[in-house]
A and B are shown apart, each in its own frame.
Chain A
Amino acid sequence: MKAGLSLEVKNLSTTFETPLGAVTAVDGVSFDVHPGEVLGLVGESGSGKSVTLRSLIGLIHPPGKVTGQVTWNGQDLLSVPPGRLRRVRGGEIAMIFQEPMTALNPVLTVGLQVEENLRAHTALDRGQRRARAIELFDLVGIPDAKRRLENYPHQFSGGMRQRVMIAIALASNPKLLLADEPTTALDVTIQDQILKLILSLRDELQMGVVLVTHDLGVVAGTCDRIAVMYAGRIVESGSVLEIFDGPRHAYTRGLLASVPQAGAERGPLLAIEGTPPALSALPTGCAFGPRCSFANDACRATRPELAEIGPGRQVACLHHETVAASKGQFA
């Protein structure tokens, strides 16, 4: 197996043409993912996290349009021919969906759904594919693998179904795993098991992971770096430690403050006031402005660009120093 590959995303934008005009769901997003690294893509629902993931491997349906650059293994995935893209999808870059109930085909056995991945990306023969499928089920912790391969998705519990999906995603030893809220639909205990599983596989296979989630608790326990998204843009990024220690965007602060602290006194859970803006009607200037207590006229006039403020540390806020300095407003 070759050493891991890095993913470089530059200026990725995804726009949907609608009867009410174009809606930009992802707006000029850039980030890297290195081998063996877990990048957390964080934000409220509708902030463009899932659309970003889907845009990377060409899963956006018309009338959606994707622009920018997604460099993988020396080529731009947004412009490679379909045949090449198919080899990357599922083979080198695999994706786990949020809802295993709807992401697994209800009328096919899970065995077939594992096998068709192997068939598309490996030279294994029938017997070998079956052996590999059993191996994968063992790997992700599905007991009685041999028998379970003949079952249909509806015969599995929610947690087991998510394991099936992970087994399918990992079938061809991908070098990058895109995980779209892989644990949101699951109980807390199963959530933990699944995340541990993904991490151990990351170590074993040296694969990079992009973990999309709205749950900062999950991020703290699993990710190396974080990119926070708001209204289709990345508003802050950096290492987990840096961001949890000193958030520099008011939105990130708000998100962190709304996480219940383990062991802390049980206080009121703070949420960010207001709701995210509709993508079809973004305010001028900073999209977070209307909900931000630091905002002034400058924020309403220009949209702050994502700026480097340290090595691997970026923020898109005019007042990031004030935000960093003002301790305790939420705590």
Chain B
Amino acid sequence: MHLLLYVLRRIIQLIPTLLFIALVVFLLVHLLPGDPASAMLGDRALTADVNRINHELGLDRPLPVQFLLFLRNLLHGDLGRSIQLHQSVVSLIEQRLPVTILLTVMSALVAVVLALPLAFVAALRRDREADVLIRGTFQIGLSMPVFYIGLLLLTFFGAYLRWFPVGGYGDTFASHLYHLFLPALTLALSLSAVLMRNLRQAILSVIGAEYVDFARAKGLPARLVLLRHVLRNALISTVTLFGLQIGTLLGGAVVTETVFAIPGAGRLMIESIYGRDYPVVQGTTLCLAVVVSLTFLLTDLIQVMLDPRLSR
């Protein structure tokens, strides 16, 4: 019951955030020097074309009116049409966004699978060789840009060892997973570094807690003490951090999709930038931001489920 009320409250809180996202995305196009249409069409555009585009996009009306129109269209699921691809932006995003989400989910999973055991090893072997090695390696990983990690993995595991495809997305779900493995690993490395560091610290602060000693005094097996008593408490802060990292992960996905030629929303965005296809840039930015805010909701929920003290 508490939980349900909490969800409801959080959903209501989401509304102003979504409005703000819409406003920023709307204003984005108006940052353009001069008028957007001529910027889109280039210097040699005919005045007639410029006027036509301006009218099509509703750019000849006052700004607040334009924003209300933009919102109305949004509510009707209309994000405009792609100038380059001659399709509705919504249908483009419908094709491309699931790819990005699958990539992001996969890399989040890989990151967790990497971070969890390594954080335990590092924490339990604090300041000994294993800990120093793990932290050092991750620190180097954190200092590498995503595109470079991607290129390295692609060259070694793709081109050299030929274990994985060097790009593309495949046709079946299984082949999607296969194609996305290296990109997911690319994205996962820096995320897992951040998660590992945080979780290690959290484990260290929890492991000396009285309730952990009490659990040991009960004669519980070591594994149960670590998983139920240490990990559950340590995870609370890591889940918050995980939520905050989703934005970084999606930003990395944009780059990774470009490196591995994956037909996702991020690559769509970059291609649209090269083609000055502003409605698509707007649409993808909007959708990625919405994905982030929904993830915040999700991680908040997980946190409340992990920590009963928060639900009241």
Contacts and interface: CB of A to CB of B under 8 A. Distances in A.
Within the complex, are A and B direct neighbours (CB within 8 Å)? yes
A85 B213 CA distance: 14
Given A61-B208, A120-B221, A105 B233 contact: yes
Contacts of A154: 308-309
A108 to B, nearest CB: 7
A36 interface: no
A107 interface: yes
Contacts of B27: none
Given A106-B307, A107-B232, A154-B308, A99 B210 contact: yes
A271 B99 CA distance: 74
A57 interface: yes
Interface string B187-222: 000000000000000000000111101111111111
| Contact count band on B | 20 to 34
Nearest to A88: B219
Contact of A106 (B216, B220, B228, B233): B233
Contacts, number: 82
Contacts of B308: 106-107, 109, 152, 154
Contacts of A99: 210
Given A106-B307, A107-B232, A152-B309, A94 B217 contact: yes
Given A103-B211, A152-B309, A108 B217 contact: no
Given A108-B232, A154-B308, A89 B216 contact: yes
A222 interface: no
Nearest to B310: A107
A86 B216 CA distance: 8
Contacts of A59: 213, 216-217
Contacts of A86: 219-221
Interface in A113-170: 116-117, 120-121, 152, 154, 165, 168
A61 B233 CA distance: 19
A114 to B, nearest CB: 10
B130 to A, nearest CB: 15
11 contacts: A59-B217, A86-B221, A89-B219, A90-B217, A90-B218, A97-B210, A97-B214, A97-B217, A105-B215, A107-B309, A120-B220
